[in-house]
Chains A and B, each alone.
Chain A
Amino acid sequence: MTIQKILLQFEPKRKNLLSALHEVNKQFGYISNQNSYKICDYFSVSPSKLYSFITSSDVLRDQKPPLLEIKVCSGGVCKMKGADKVIKEIENFLKIKADKIYNGKVEFKKISCLGKCLVGPVVIINGTMYEKVNPSMVDDILKNYI
């Protein structure tokens, strides 16, 4: 679907901005520079305001998603269950550091609690959630993605 078709589903009112951005994000994986100007025109919002809206969100992206996106919950409960060791293991295995992006290919993030405390520690790779992860499982999980 083209960006125009997506936008036409929504009334050009600012209160529909959030839903429209979610739809664009879903279709293209991110909100590109080019697309954001079209969104600005359609909703009569200045580019700076749109950018500030997108960057305040955890879910909307303004850059192409990486090939491998790893998120690890680092809330207090997961930490009590050993999330730190899982993070170290991933860092050692991929030779990267947490909270950094590598050439747009790999992104490794610590995230806030998602309410999956009972099945923690939780690791999310490219949208798939792995529950009750312990350091010895990390190799097996990551091998599916590289």
Chain B
Amino acid sequence: MQEKLITKNWDKIKPASIESFINYGGYLQLKNCVYKNKKPNDIVDQIDESGLRGRGGAGFPTGKKWKIAKQNAQKNKKDVYFIVNADESQPGTFKDGRVIEKNPHSIIEGAAVASYALEASKVIIYVNGHHKDYYETLKNCVNLAYERGFLGKNILDKNVDIEMQVVLGSGGYIFGEETTLINSLEGYRGEPRMKPPFPPELGFLKNPTVVNNVETVINIPIILEIGAAKYKKIGCQESNGTKLFSVLGAVKNPGLYEAPLGITIRDLIYDYCGGLEKSKQLDFVQVGWMGNFFTQEKLDYKLSYQKKQGNALVGLGSVLVVDKDTDIRDLVLAWSEFFQRESCGQCTPCREGSYRLLNIAERLKNKQVFEKDLQNIKDLNEVLEKTSFCPFGCFIAQCWKGVLDLKQKELFKNL
């Protein structure tokens, strides 16, 4: 089994205590950067070399994102802002929350190193509005780091400034999308913005902004510690490093597991989670997002960020194992309710489409589908995929497409 990097000291560290974190090598990489006068651009190059990809779902190379932001800042003589996205609200995902519960100081260190590398004027940690406890935890951690001189003006008595602020977010799924998050920080309604320009070009207060997921941020000190070359060896081609997987459903030991990218779905379920619960039969496995389904024959697909045959796109790393006792209609209804509730209402296809699809899901649940419904789903999917403003619409379409590919006969057998 792969040696643990992220969760290595989770059982030993006392989350609230900064001493305990320092005793286990915390803030060492930040001290290294500051005392050894490391060049910020060297750190950016190192992250780029390591092949680290954003852990927020899309898997955009982190080093590349940083480089775009830095180039834009230099060209237009603007400040860089660094935002840590802790607005986790994807159903069935709890990795960021667990990081905040178990080792919150690692986020502060990662963000501080990132800020040093990007020469950012400010770091903002955006916490999901539903989780006031996480907000308080991170705020305490930031205060402790200020007291210890890891943050603030002239940190560690050297000529480096790192400012950090924790912000309680608005609460809601769409705020996890980076442009919506920036809108909400600026005091505008929580709606996605047009892309391009992407945030590294034009983001918070019209400055180049890097938005990174919590898990991406905690990987940064690890890369500096073990070196980019060693980090690149972990995982598979184009998807390097380890990843946190939230495994749920009909497995013996559901929970959060750290595994290298490139692991097969079968290994994750049977080696890490102890296999399926007794007397349960596997129906399908959902990876990353709704609609990304893998049946028994596809269990040997590799979990990775690269789209190719034989790979399962990992997304946020949520894995839901569904057994044959679970009614797919219940799940479809739960997902449709979620889509309808969380659609921000900015564009018509998503606002109306999610509502109509919920109606169909309710009819499916009551086993009263009409003949037209199947065609309607397909039509709505096409409209959502082609015309919705932000990726959320495509996300709805993908979910329904996955459901139809897998279970069309079962759902519409009455007709």
- Residues of A at the B interface (CB closer than 8 Å) are 14-19, 22, 43, 45, 49, 52-53, 56-60, 74-77, 79-80, 84, 110, 112-118
Give residues of chain B (295-350) contacting chain A, Cβ–Cβ below 8 Å.
320, 322, 326, 330-331, 333-335, 337-338, 341-342, 344
Known: A17-B187, A76-B331, A114-B131. A56 touches B341 (CB 8 A): no
Are B89 and A112 within 8 A (Cβ)? Answer: yes
Are B130 and A15 within 8 A (Cβ)? Answer: no
Q: Provide the residues of chain B in CB contact with A112, threshold 8 Å.
A: 89, 91, 173, 338, 341-342
Closest residue of chain B to A80, judged by CB? B326
Q: How far is the CA of A84 from the CA of B331 in the complex (A)?
A: 11
Are B185 and A60 within 8 A (Cβ)? Answer: no
Are B94 and A53 within 8 A (Cβ)? Answer: no
Of B167, B255, B334, B344, most buried by chain A (CB within 10 Å of CB) is B334
Of A14, A79, A80, most buried by chain B (CB within 10 Å of CB) is A80
Q: Provide the residues of chain A in CB contact with B326, threshold 8 Å.
A: 80
Q: Provide the residues of chain A in CB contact with B39, threshold 8 Å.
A: none
CB distance from A98 to the nearest CB of B (A): 10
Are B91 and A75 within 8 A (Cβ)? Answer: yes
Closest residue of chain B to A84, judged by CB? B330
Instruction: List 19 contacting pairs A-B, 8 Å CB cutoff, sorted by A.
Output: A14-B188, A15-B186, A15-B187, A15-B205, A18-B167, A18-B169, A53-B188, A53-B190, A56-B184, A58-B172, A74-B337, A77-B91, A77-B92, A80-B322, A80-B326, A80-B330, A112-B173, A116-B94, A117-B254
Bitwise, B121-142 to A at CB < 8 A (1) or not (0) is 0000000011100000000000
Q: Provide the residues of chain A in CB contact with B130, threshold 8 Å.
A: 58-59, 114
Q: Provide the residues of chain B in CB contact with A59, threshold 8 Å.
A: 129-130, 170-171
CB distance from B132 to the nearest CB of A (A): 9
Are B88 and A19 within 8 A (Cβ)? Answer: no
CB distance from A67 to the nearest CB of B (A): 21
Known: A15-B205, A52-B189, A59-B170. A76 touches B335 (CB 8 A): yes
Q: Pick from B94, B186, B322: contact of A117, CB below 8 A.
A: B94
Are B187 and A16 within 8 A (Cβ)? Answer: yes
Asked if B93 is an interface residue, CB under 8 A from chain A, the answer is yes
Closest residue of chain B to A110, judged by CB? B337
CB distance from B355 to the nearest CB of A (A): 13
Q: Provide the residues of chain B in CB contact with A53, threshold 8 Å.
A: 187-190
Bitwise, B147-175 to A at CB < 8 A (1) or not (0) is 00000000000000000000111111100
Are B92 and A113 within 8 A (Cβ)? Answer: yes
Q: How far is the CA of A109 from the CA of B248 in the complex (A)?
A: 24
CB distance from B221 to the nearest CB of A (A): 24
Q: How far is the CA of A17 from the CA of B322 in the complex (A)?
A: 43
Asked if B191 is an interface residue, CB under 8 A from chain A, the answer is yes
Q: Provide the residues of chain A in CB contact with B62, threshold 8 Å.
A: none
Q: How far is the CA of A56 from the CA of B129 in the complex (A)?
A: 12
Q: Provide the residues of chain A in CB contact with B342, threshold 8 Å.
A: 112
Bitwise, B49-73 to A at CB < 8 A (1) or not (0) is 0000000000000000000000000
Asked if B246 is an interface residue, CB under 8 A from chain A, the answer is yes
Closest residue of chain B to A22, judged by CB? B168
